[in-house]
Amino acid sequence: MAENWSGHYKHLNEKTPPAAMLSRALAAFQRENAGNGEKLSLDLGCGNGIDTLAMLQDHWQVTAIDRERQALEAVEKLAEPELRSYLTTRCIDFAEIDILPAYKLVNATFSLPFCPPARFDHLWHIICNAISPGGRFSGQFFGVRDSWSSNPEMTFHTREGVQKLLAGFETEHLEEVEKEGKLISGQPKYWHVFHVVARKI
């Protein structure tokens, strides 16, 4: 399961599109004319920075968190000079976070499953508390039939479990996908993924 992260990042660049769930969330805010309030967002496990860049370009103030310094350096490199004042980076393992400020948008593209089970409920509680009413979560949860599900350091959910996590949210998009596929590196993988956009009530 574990890939070399430098090898992972080399397959991605500024031409890679942002995650579909993030794009849905940003479009929803645009329809609501969300610019009337503070546009504060968190990219949790920001990875290559593509999602962070999309939020910056949509004039969000973004805090990008990742435990890999290389990931944050990629984010800083991608951000246009005129947008860098809107970007804050933190090099930390998000599984160890104990408090977060308020955000209008929390994005976690394929990152939350990498939180160990012993810390997941605590982290999710912190995320839920951080999202302000009317704010959104966008991201993924891995299902129990995912080919990585035997990894005890990762967290997996049933559909019912995901629905319980979203109590207190209006679920705007919940798509369960199971398929044979590949990693970005080209290695084969069986995916069982829940794609989510949810609005805090």
> What pLDDT is stored for residue 1 in this prediction?
41
| Cβ pair 177, 109 in contact under 8 A | no
Report the pLDDT value the prediction gives residue 34, as an integer from 0 to 100.
Answer: 57
Q: State residue 185's pLDDT score.
A: 84
Are residues 76 and 89 in contact, defined by beta-carbon separation less than 8 angstroms?
A: yes
Q: What is the pLDDT of residue 35?
A: 53
CATH for 19-31+38-200 is 3.40.50.150
pTM listed for this prediction: 0.92
Q: pLDDT in tens for each of the 201 residues of the chain?
A: 444 445 555 555 556 899 999 999 999 999 998 555 689 999 999 998 999 999 999 999 999 999 999 999 989 988 999 999 999 999 999 999 999 999 999 999 999 999 999 999 999 999 999 999 999 999 999 999 999 999 999 999 999 999 999 999 999 999 999 999 999 889 999 999 999 999 999
Distance CA 52, CA 63 (A): 8
Predicted pLDDT of residue 38: 85
At 2 the pLDDT is: 40
| Domain residue spans of the chain | 19-31+38-200
